[in-house]
């Protein structure tokens, strides 16, 4: 296992408020391996299906990058390590990455590589939820942060991967913004910039012709108690109603994500095809999420 750190923090090395939140969440869910099993099978299967076929033993093996890997409860790393030359796990939380790989007994596996303390937004050092109440109307600051996030290119991640997957990371990025700027209408420019930049990052890290996969929560049983008892076969109908009622996570409407991928000027040249995946349920400790995925084929040649 090869371990590396990411972009140096701008705050002198101290843990940012959102690193602390993410570390707490990872500790809370660290024992949820068995609970995640159905979700893990779905996620692993979609990533394996997206890998290119290898015609012979001498052909290069695929490379995979997982953004927001955390403690890896939602991915069977052994399945990927068997098929891939490299499985790069990226997260803010170094301890969670190490513990997740150790749980799956892959600490010494040569294909597993870790990149910790990675801020892929360029603005995490500037977000402080403690100041939220005094920043309700700071539209100028939001515009400035949106410009930084939109243009950020300093993550230092390698590229050329056959598959790049965002492991329900976009919701965490958006959650960080809404903690700081509670009014979603005021925060909208920043939310849009972060979402589009995240989609571009996924595609930029792919090789031409590779695939990006965005895994994303849509809604939870916190605002839709009936979700936990709804069979997967009925989820599309339930979600259609919830979306019409505006009951979904801010910035994560599946239709808007597809619209970005198919029309946003800097995404459009990178996208050859978008395939939305039917939703499924993810039991997450005391709540249940409705989750979907988008398999995005990167254009072989940018238009």
pLDDT for 153 equals 79
pLDDT for 68 equals 94
Q: Is residue 287 within 8 Å of 29, Cβ to Cβ?
A: no
pLDDT for 154 equals 62
Token pair in block for residue 299: 């254009």
pTM: 0.91
Q: Which residues contact 107 (CB under 8 A, 6 or more apart)?
A: 1, 98, 101
Q: Which residues contact 156 (CB under 8 A, 6 or more apart)?
A: 6, 7, 118
Q: State the CB neighbour count (10 A cutoff) for residue 73.
A: 24
Q: What is the DSSP letter of 87?
A: E
Strands 206-220 and 86-91: unpaired
pLDDT for 285 equals 86
Residues of the chain by 3-state class (helix, strand, coil), percent to 5: 45, 20, 35
Token pair in block for residue 295: 């398999």
CATH architecture assignment, domain 2-298: 3-Layer(aba) Sandwich (3.40)
Torsions phi, psi of 52, nearest 5? -70, 150
pLDDT for 120 equals 87
CA gap 303, 86 in Å, rounded = 29
Three-state DSSP class for residue 105: coil
pLDDT for 8 equals 40
Mean pLDDT by 10 residues, the chain (303 residues): 50 60 71 90 98 76 96 96 96 92 96 90 78 58 89 82 97 88 85 94 96 98 97 96 96 96 95 97 94 97 62
């Amino acid at each position: 296992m090869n371990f590396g750190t990411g972009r140096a923090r701008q705050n002198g090395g101290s843990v940012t408020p959102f690193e602390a939140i993410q570390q707490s969440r990872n500790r809370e869910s660290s024992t949820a391996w068995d609970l995640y099993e159905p979700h893990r099978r779905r996620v692993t299967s979609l990533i394996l299906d997206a890998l290119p076929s290898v015609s012979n033993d001498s052909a290069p093996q695929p490379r995979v990058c997982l953004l927001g890997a955390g403690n890896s409860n939602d991915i069977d790393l052994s399945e990927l390590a068997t098929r891939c030359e490299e499985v790069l796990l990226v997260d803010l939380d170094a301890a969670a990455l190490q513990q997740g790989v150790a749980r799956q007994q892959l600490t010494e596996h040569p294909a597993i590589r870790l990149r910790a303390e990675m801020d892929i937004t360029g603005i995490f050092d500037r977000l402080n939820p403690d100041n939220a109440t005094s920043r309700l109307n700071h539209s100028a600051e939001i515009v400035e942060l949106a410009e930084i996030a939109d243009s950020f290119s300093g993550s230092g991640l390698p590229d050329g991967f056959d598959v790049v997957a965002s492991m329900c990371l976009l919701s965490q990025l958006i959650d960080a913004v809404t903690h700081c700027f509670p009014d979603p209408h005021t925060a909208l420019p920043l939310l849009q910039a972060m979402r589009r930049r995240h989609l571009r990052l996924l595609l930029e890290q792919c090789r031409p012709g590779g695939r990006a996969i965005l895994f994303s929560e849509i809604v939870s049983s916190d605002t839709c108690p009936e979700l936990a008892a709804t069979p997967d076969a009925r989820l599309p109908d339930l979600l259609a109603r919830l979306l019409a009622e505006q009951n979904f996570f801010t910035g994560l409407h599946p239709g808007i994500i597809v619209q970005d991928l198919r029309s946003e000027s800097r995404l459009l040249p990178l996208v050859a095809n978008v395939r939305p995946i039917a939703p499924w349920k993810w039991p997450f400790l005391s709540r249940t999420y409705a989750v979907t995925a988008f398999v995005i084929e990167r254009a072989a040649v940018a238009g």
